[in-house]
Structure 1
């Protein structure tokens, strides 16, 4: 849950709890939170419903745990990358890279279930419920505030209002471009005649960082 430590939320690899969370991530990302059934999750994890009730108590708690398991590695990597440079030496590009690079890397990872992370978050945002929204807010709001302050520190003259707007636009652009790598999408790759490879995390990172940096450096629009 949101108040627990990373260690408490990270079960030993190969444990029943870990198997259920990994299977639920795949099932929820594929079927959606509402349509997914416990039977599908137990089949994918090779466990039983009793194990889910023992470790989580209900499907709702399992959904919360899966969302937390998605948020933790992203936010941890973001903060580690941000803190890798002392505050006095940070640049706007460094802060933007810390914000967008970890989600891109994890979402476009060609191995394991990392590619499901963005799909799951997009589902939670497209079809919000009180449960998913509350869990996402609890995991991401504090990190957002941390980055808002960091972005203002490295962007002279940027008002708090503009910082919030531009942060939101940056996150929206990031979510859109990583969703392009989903099977059946690749619209940008198609309309560009292959010029833009939306399966290439390095190309996405390079273009997105440049775009977001330019957005934060843009002049403030008068009310």
Structure 2
């Protein structure tokens, strides 16, 4: 499992071979077929091994404050993003590789990997969208889903920034932004996402005479 996680994160689900995984784990292909039956089942088990602990921590943190006025938007957002960031920046853990896996799957999607990833995250996503709406009076369901997606995208990007060989933000900021500091990342990301959820609903985009959608003049 650990070897498969490393190989999938490095090579991608499609390009990775069972031979590479067995060489890394110093086992043989028969062991994979015996324990998992196929590469597809191995992918499912690997994703579950890293996604389930993160999602469990998210829900545990969210439920540490009961539903009601005491459950603030800051608490909900922090519950959503803190576990992935804190675990991903733990250099001794496998959670760092999860972001790499998800980015690989986004860049080179397939029906199987997409369905497998959805199975790990959809229920948790729905739970958090409801919590975000409850903590943001007046937020429509449409806006909640859009902003949830943007929050997840921002989180994945900043986690990937801390990966070895990246640190672009740290470089262009002259070291002012430390992308290896989980506390700094978390405080900035929570503030950013909370502000996004509290933002007003955007005005509708009107089509012009040629049928192209253009921003209303007052938004330019």
Report the TM-score, using the length of structure 1 for normalisation: 0.88
> Quick check: which has more Rg, 1 or 2?
2
Q: Which consecutive residues of structure 2, in runs of 5 or more, have no partner in the other structure? A: 205-220
Does the aligned pair in 2 maintain the 1:68–1:135 contact within 8 Å? Answer: no
Q: Select the residue among 25, 31, 35 that pairs with 2:15.
A: 35
1:61-94: CA deviation from partner (whole Å, max 9, x where unpaired): 1112111222111111110000011112200000
162-171 or 33-42, larger mean C-alpha shift: 33-42
Asked if 1:80 is matched to 2:80, the reply is: no
User: Which residues of 2 match residues 105-124 of structure 1 at below 5 A?
Assistant: 105-124=86-105
SS of 1:118's equivalent? helix
CA deviation vs aligned residue, 1:122-175 (integer Å, no higher than 9, x gap)? 111111111110011111111111001000001011011110111011011001
1:138-157 → structure 2 map (5 Å cutoff): 138-157=119-138
Deviation at 1:112, TM superposition (A): 3.4
**Structure 1 residue 204 displacement after superposition:** 0.4
1:42–1:49 Cα contact (<8 Å) kept: yes
Match of 2:148 among 167, 186, 190: 167
Partners of 2:87 and 2:93 within 8 A in 1: no
SS at the partner of 2:13? Answer: coil
Structure 1 ranges of 4+ moved more than 2 A: none
Output aligned runs, 1:194-209, within 5 Å. 194-209=175-190
What's the counterpart of residue 68 of structure 1? 48
CA contact (8 A) 1:106 1:117 kept: no
The structural deviation recorded for 1:42 is: 1.2
State the aligned residue count. Answer: 203
Q: Name the residue aligned to 1:15.
A: none
Aligned counterparts, 1:186-197, within 5 A? 186-197=167-178
CA deviation vs aligned residue, 1:170-218 (integer Å, no higher than 9, x gap): 0110011110011221110111000000011111000000000011111
Deviation of residue 46 (structure 1)?
2.2
RMSD of aligned Cα (Å): 1.0
